[in-house]
Amino acid sequence: MKILMVCLGNICRSPLAEGILRQKVAEAGLNWTIDSAGTNGYHVGEAPHPLSQKVARMNGIDISGQRARNFVAADFDRFDRIYAMATDVLAEMRRIARNNYDPPKAMLLLDAIYPGEERDVPDPWYGPEPGYHEVFDLINKACATIIEQSTITF
């Protein structure tokens, strides 16, 4: 499985999602490829936000080596499943999609734990540290469920 995590800037939410899922995949002994990207391109080349790095580190995950990149149409070819952190991100990914085969690969991450509720991982960008912990916990739960369900779903 090749899985891509996508948010707006690729500096707050999706770098955490990449780091969290990569760690769970390693713990489960799965041979999956995990990456992340952003739809708005404002922070391309930057390391994850310091508070995302801090919260990851507090949970034993090092995301400091990641660098932000843009989500591109070719990602639909390179990945089997593409998780959007929020509905605005999913809408932009569907706008970038080129054909009927692309959109089914794109889905909301929180559908894994709140199916059909169209819930967003809240954008922590403008807020203080507690928002980053909330984001970590939500993504952590969703990724745990994705791993648990992987034998059925994939």
Binding site for ligand 4NP (CB under 6 A): 7-13, 38, 40, 42-43, 123, 125
80 is catalytic: no
State how far the Cα of 134 lies from the Cα of 154, in Å rounded to an integer: 28
Q: Which is nearer to ligand 4NP, 24 or 43 (CB)?
A: 43
The single residue of 7, 12, 22, 120 carrying the catalytic annotation is 7
Structure token pair of residue 17: 């999602």
Structure tokens that stand for 71 in this block: 């989500």
**Nearest approach, Cβ of 42 to ligand 4NP (angstroms)?**
4
Has 94 been annotated as catalytic? Answer: no
Q: Exactly one of 12, 13, 22, 120 is catalytic; which is it?
A: 13
The least distance separating ligand 4NP from the CB of residue 24, rounded to whole angstroms, comes to 20
Could you tell me which residues come within 8 angstroms of residue 124 by beta carbon, excluding any fewer than 6 positions away? 12, 13, 49, 51, 52, 131, 132, 134, 135
The active-site residue, picked from 12, 35, 123, 143, is: 123
Residue 67 annotated to the active site = no
DSSP, res 70: B
Residue whose Cβ sits closest to ligand 4NP: 9
Strand partners, 82: 4, 106
Which residue numbers are catalytic? 7, 13, 123
